[in-house]
Amino acid sequence: MGQAIAARLGQTDDLDCAAVWSRTPGRHAERFPDGTRLDADIHAVAGASDVLIDFSLPAGTVEAAAAAARAACPLVCGVSGLGETQFDALVRAAGHVPVVFDRNMSQGIAVLTDVVARVAHALGDEFRVTIDETHHVHKLDAPSGTALKLGEAVAAARERPLSDLMWYEQAGEAPDDAIRFRVERRGEVPGDHAVRFESATETLTLSHSVTTRSVFADGALRAARWVHGRPPGLYSMADVLGLTADSKNPG
């Protein structure tokens, strides 16, 4: 993702890459051929930036969040697979600086999630829900973070936790009110998701496909533009796109 973001930055007139964080020890104040600074010191990178964008790994997110808070630098985080420790680090940082975190930085997925929640609320429990997701063979987690995000939207509309409704690889027949997840790992597919609502008389399918991973870079840069100058708080791509009624703070 770092290369995709760098490529998109090279195509923009209003944003520049101030520095790149390398987690390889000993890489201090090196330079890329274009002059961009490469540094193993995340605090130096955050201090040189107006907005810090993190697409590293869960362990790196803890360091990035701490550096952003220390440097009073807004943070955009698109790292998936975060555990409680890493998410808590983002929440702590959000008490000091604005943080945009989303498991999927795609603008289309943010809109899809909003629509899915509205449809689930309108149709109610009488419609069976199935979430299909397909990714490349290198993806290790299943269901994907995005599929879980869509499932959470349905569960929230039904005012129940996803853990009560999720049905994935269990034996036997799923209950009628279950949210079924179907996962496929195939080729180099960047990411396809579909949410299907079915009754005895009709089916409604909402879907989203990614054609290139640059879509996540586009979302991250839109979030970077939006988050600069915001008050401290924990935000999502829904906030960036104006899909939420009010901007949220962690409180």
Answer yes or no: are the C-beta atoms of 32 and 39 closer than 8 Å.
no
For the question of residue 139 being annotated catalytic, the response is yes
Which string of DSSP letters, residue by residue, matches 161-216?
A: -HHHHEESS-SSPPPTT-EEEEEEE-TT---EEEEEEE-SS-EEEEEEE-S-THHH
Catalytic residue among 135, 149, 193, 208: 135
Give residue 167's Cα distance to chain centre: 22
How do strand 52-54 and strand 75-77 relate by DSSP bridges? Answer: parallel
Catalytic residue among 96, 139, 149, 248: 139
Residue 227: which region, alpha, beta or left (left: phi > 0; alpha: psi -120 to 50)? alpha
Task: Note if 149 is an active site residue.
Answer: no
Active site residues: 135, 139
